[in-house]
Amino acid sequence: MSETIQPRPTKGNGHGGSRPGAGRKPKDYEKPEAVVDFEEARARNESAKADLNELEFKIKSGEYVARAAVVQATATAYAAIAQALRSLPDNLERRLALDPEVAEEIGRQIDEALGELAGVLEKMRGDHAG
């Protein structure tokens, strides 16, 4: 006698029985802690990826520049300003017939101001050193 194989009973859609955890959850359902932790970790990861993509876009679009380039440009500008300011005493002495003592005092005041500025710029550079 041969046995006939009977198909498994199926639900209405013909795709087999229900899977554990499938379907609508009851109103009082609370996700397991492991699931909540995983979803929070995934959200943090996605947020970090978005932040990194935004940073890369800003760098490529020129909105953000390399810190070294800013430091170099600032140093170059400072050197040009210092050179122009240090030439003032001699130029004023010649053009306005100033006493040499007055021109020297102007030069000392300019050097003092440049020294203070250099200190401020160095402090700013040190505060953001990485």
- pLDDT one-digit tens code per residue, 44-61: 999 999 999 999 999 999
What residue spans define the domains of the chain? 32-64, 65-130
- pLDDT above 80: residue 98: yes
Q: What percentage of residues in the chain have a pLDDT greater than 70? A: 87
Residue 98, classified by CB atoms within 10 Å of its CB into exposed (0-12), middle (13-18) or buried (19+), is middle
Radius of gyration of the chain (CA): 37
**What is the torsional sign of CA 52, 54, 60, 62?**
negative
- pLDDT one-digit tens code per residue, 57-90: 999 999 999 888 888 898 899 999 999 999 999 9
